[in-house]
Amino acid sequence: MAKEKSQVNLRQTVSGTSLFERGKQLRHTIPIEAHDRVVESVERPGVLDFIDASNRGRLPHLIPLRIGRMVSSPFAFYRGSAGLMAADLAASPVSGIEAQLCGDAHAANFGLYGTPEGDIVMDINDFDETIVGPWEWDLKRLSTSLVLAGREGGVPDTECVEAAEDAVKSYRRTIRELAQQPFLQSWSALPDQSVITRAKADALLDDFAKAAKKASRNTSARVAEKWTAHFDDHETGVKHRRFVEEPPTLTSVDADVADAVIDGLERYVDTLRESRRNLIGRYSVADVAFRIVGTGSVGLRSYVALLLGNTDEVLVLQIEQAQPSSLAPYLSAAEPSHEGKRIVHGARLVQAETDILLGWTTIDGIPYIVRQFRNLKGDIDPSALEADHLDDYGRLAGALLARAHSRSLDPRLLSGYLAGDQELDEVIGRFAVRYADHVEADHAVLAEAVRAGRMAAESG
């Protein structure tokens, strides 16, 4: 009988030294200074054309709300336009080393959330755009976002640049450290508060403590307390727990939609890791509502489901439409069989700790991801940080991004490419400033279109 072919070769030894040298050789093809180049591709779409294209498939009545959120500031615009930056980056040289990207690694997509044991950790927490691609795309997006967030918060440009450069420096140093660690140790590195000290970001300790305290209260029980109430069923005399509408953010759905969502949740259970299927099967769905979330996700179909558990226990799940990654047109990654599965696979590969109830489903032919809603989630708003704290935030985010990438690329290979070269910090720092200027110009185009009435915008 023929042996089944495995994708893993456990017979061949690949030394760290050979990988390091291979990484160094890549610099002869793409030197560090090549990452400092013109930031706009001649093939990028116009700003308004891009927004029109990205609005396709969204609920029409919510598009003005999406535009209203994007036009509120250049940083908000940036958060809703990952595909526009991908179009520009597609024309730039790349090192040839690929990772499972976050795809939208801006500074506000690093946040706090809870582990199954109830510990608070900080990591990348948004994977809608995740895809395999050049590691430097994520790093450039992070660095640019620090400049934009700092400018929004009134931080002088010199300190914004320092934050961007320090994110790159921290990324380089963390890759080097992970390359020297035992595999099991590097795989689970940096998930908790200790990352702050290790990333030399001690000024953020108070910010982390405040965010963690707030996150510890962000539970399904708290959501249910704020958003639900008991209603009498006049036919049976039984009280039922239901969501309370708070338009436009939270609205009820009709019975057919609720049934379709519940059917999707029953199918979603099969996408969970096997040991967790019995867990979710013990709950029952009490209600389903439509919930608007985020900036880039506004206009997509997004629901929350209220589930009842043991005695007075409640669980709130989020069911969010999964779009193709906006980076996909500019990369050679294979088309996924299911966009929700792509997102879940990326999160499981990149995050140190992943939501145990993360999975995917299909509802009325549309792919979705399913996850806990606000499971001990919190954040440190980078646009509200003072200069010295923004600098520390950059170092923290750079370290977390390096750890995330090291799950899918071998840090020994990348450390060879980055070895001893502080020039990368300034190279990407310069890129970040120029690209932030570019984003501000793009945002101005959208703002003018809104003022002229060519695009409708609503606040909220």
* pLDDT given at position 235: 65
* pLDDT given at position 73: 98
CA torsion angle for 66, 72, 73, 75 (degrees, to 10)?
-30
Tens of pLDDT, residues 132-186: 999 999 999 999 999 999 999 999 999 999 999 999 999 999 999 999 999 998 8
Q: Which residues partner with 314 through β-bridges?
A: 308
* pLDDT given at position 361: 98
Do 238 and 407 contact (CB within 8 A), yes or no? no
* pLDDT given at position 190: 63
Do 23 and 31 contact (CB within 8 A), yes or no? no
Of 253, 254, 315, 257, residue with least CA distance to 281: 315
DSSP letters along 41-107, please?
A: -TTPPPHHHHHHHHTTTS-GGGHHHHHHHHTT-HHHHHHT-HHHHHHHHTTS---S-EEEE-S---G
* pLDDT given at position 187: 87
* pLDDT given at position 231: 85
Tens of pLDDT, residues 318-332: 999 999 999 999 998
Of 379, 380, 430, 382, residue with least CA distance to 155: 382
* pLDDT given at position 420: 72
* Residues 61, 352: Cα–Cα separation, whole Å: 38
* pLDDT given at position 271: 97
Model pTM score: 0.95
Q: Which amino acid would we find at residue 31?
A: P
Ranges in the chain, pLDDT < 70: 1-5, 38, 190-192, 233-238, 421
Give residue 133's region: left, alpha or beta (phi > 0; psi -120 to 50).
beta
